[in-house]
Homo-oligomer: A and B are copies of this chain.
Amino acid sequence: MLSFESDYTTGAHPAILQRLMETNLEAVSGYGEDPYCESAKEKIRVACECPEADVWFLTGGTQTNATVISTMLQSYEGVVAADTGHVNTHEAGAIEYSGHKVLTVPQHDGKIDAKELERFLEDFYQDGNHEHMVFPGMVYISHPTEYGTLYTKTELGQLAVICRRYEIPLYLDGARLGYGLMSRQSDMTLADVAELCDVFYIGGTKVGAFCGEAVVFTKRNTPRHFLSQVKQRGALLAKGRLLGIQFDALFTDGLYWEISTHAIEMAERLKTLFHEKGCEFYLESPTNQQFIILENEKMETIKKQVAFSFWEKADETHTVVRFATSWSTTEADLTQLAELL
């Protein structure tokens, strides 16, 4: 069946599979101590224009968020996030499971507003009772956000300035970072992200890999004995090569950007197509996820021939649904969708 359900419905990009096959018989050490991990890390450092970056490979998004946040926070600290932030809503309480509170600020199209963040931090320290409260110890943002929206370089810079003033790390969840940076609206490079953030991750799972996220500590700020802490959280893969080889392939000959650009192109065509069909957008995102409002009856009809995600109820007779593109979306898929609509 035709599927725009998500960007993780198909397997891995063929170039990744190819590399897995080519390297399959080579015996290497486990736990990320292999030459593929080394090579991938070096390529990422180069792509980030950040020679001192410390790169680690984890398996999935929630695991990465919980690991990064819980190892960088002190016990008395929580992480500040938009109320719609993934860590606050759809990680089954993984952050709290690690003992830390998610402190929320209002979201605006999924984003945190710098002024509001500043006020939040100011208010905290001015509160006479703040020793009885959870200290804001980190700022979490996602880019693209849960709504597919993007921070401008100026906006990210403002958040970075505030974080540095309060001496707390700025952490960017880049589960779909490629789609963000390859968006036609993006005014940022990977090097900008590396410069402005203290830690971020480059998503693999949703950008063509079977699994895997590359965490980048940019300021010589890796938590001590990070490998042990990753292991302690059940996040250390024995065959670390599986992650290393995939990221090595993704950062060879610009594959990561190629995949991302392709998905963005498909998403732009999708947008055009929905516009042409007179569909209403809940949010016209600049990235690979599009949020459409469908009349319920129509939704039920097309559901039979194309998979998409339920997002939320719009009103009694309409529903917000999400269509996502990925490395494997083809022009044929779009043509077929056009026919369906």
Residues in chain A within 8 A of chain B (CB atoms): 1, 3, 5-6, 8-12, 14, 17, 20-21, 23-30, 59-64, 66-67, 70-71, 74-76, 78, 89-94, 96-97, 99-102, 128-129, 131-135, 205-206, 210-211, 224-225, 227-229, 231-239, 241-242, 307, 310, 328
Task: Report yes or no: A11 in contact with B206, Cβ–Cβ below 8 A.
Answer: no
Residues of B contacting A233 with CB < 8 Å?
A: 94, 97, 234
In the complex with contacts A97-B99, A99-B99, A237-B60, A29-B14 CB distance below 8 A: no
Residues of B contacting A134 with CB < 8 Å?
A: 92-93, 96
Once bound together, how far apart are the Cα atoms of A132 and B88, in whole Å?
Answer: 11
Min distance, Cβ A142 to any Cβ of chain B, angstroms: 15
Min distance, Cβ A74 to any Cβ of chain B, angstroms: 7
Task: Report yes or no: B60 in contact with A234, Cβ–Cβ below 8 A.
Answer: yes
Residues of B contacting A61 with CB < 8 Å?
A: 238
- Listed residue (A205, A234, A238) with the most chain B CB atoms within 10 angstroms of its CB: A234
In the complex with contacts A1-B27, A24-B10, A75-B232 CB distance below 8 A: yes
Once bound together, how far apart are the Cα atoms of A214 and B224, in whole Å?
Answer: 31
Residues of B contacting A8 with CB < 8 Å?
A: 30, 238-239
Once bound together, how far apart are the Cα atoms of A99 and B93, in whole Å?
Answer: 8
Q: Which residue of B lies closest to A59 (CB)?
A: B59
Q: A94-B234, A234-B234 are in contact. List 12 more A-B contacts (CB 8 A).
A: A8-B30, A17-B21, A60-B236, A76-B229, A90-B129, A91-B231, A92-B131, A92-B132, A92-B229, A96-B99, A131-B231, A210-B239
